[in-house]
Amino acid sequence: MPLTHSGGAASEWVCRFGPLVPRAGAVLDVACGSGRHLQWFAQRGHPVTGVDRDAAALDEARARVNASAGSDCTCICADIEGGPWPLAGRQFAGVVVTHYLWRPLMPLILGSVADGGVLIYETFAAGNETVGRPARPDFLLQPGELLRLCAAHGGFRVIAYEDGFLRGPDRFVQRIAAVRESAAAPAGAGSAPARYPLWLE
């Protein structure tokens, strides 16, 4: 689908659950546009990688991270819908996707989350066709779709999930934050459970 390149502030959902990404862990932003989330994570000490098909947006993302975080980011210009996945075999402590949906990539995106890593996904959902674009079903998540995808790919513990309507601008969204726990050692007797904060830090 056409990518939404936003130069604005980081998504509230990303800000809320970004702290779940392990400290200093590498973060991948899929369809990163001009880099608002690359900037947010870089400012918090994460190495960041962005992939997008828009070379001009990637130039802006690189400059944005360098100017605000004092560090560079890895920017990969690739047509991830029409060409090969440019990050084959690589995994990240955090994988972020906002305002983007291309279903054939979902197994690769979920497979890019390392054990102990976090998936933060937010995009438009069914119902958005009544208020604006995108309106095609191909680009709108169906009810429960992100939950089903995480369950189907195994090892993901869903920390938070929402599917509903937001104002300013009016839009229908679905979003999830999930931790890949598949390699976590089984908790022994008396061991403390993992604590995943649900508040905005």
In-domain check, residue 33: yes
CATH number, domain containing residue 57: 3.40.50.150
Task: Say yes or no to pLDDT of 4 above 90.
Answer: no
Show the domain range for 53. Answer: 12-180
In a domain, 100, yes or no: yes
Share of the chain above pLDDT 90, in %: 83
Evaluate whether residue 118 is within a structural domain: yes
pLDDT digits (tens, 9 = 90+) for 80-131: 999 999 999 999 999 999 999 999 999 999 999 999 999 999 999 999 999 9
How far apart are the C-alpha atoms of 189 and 132, rounded to whole Å?
Answer: 52
Q: 192 lies in a domain?
A: no
CA 123/CA 141 separation, integer angstroms: 8
Of 165, 146, 159, which is closest to residue 97 (Cα–Cα)? Answer: 146
Write the pLDDT tens digit of every residue in 144-175.
Answer: 999 999 999 989 999 999 999 999 899 999 99
Is residue 155 in a domain?
A: yes
The pLDDT of residue 2 is 32
Residues of the chain above pLDDT 70, percent: 92
Number of domains in the chain: 1
Q: Does the pTM of the predicted model rise above 0.75? A: yes
Question: Does some domain include residue 185?
Answer: no
Mean pLDDT along residues 173-190 = 76
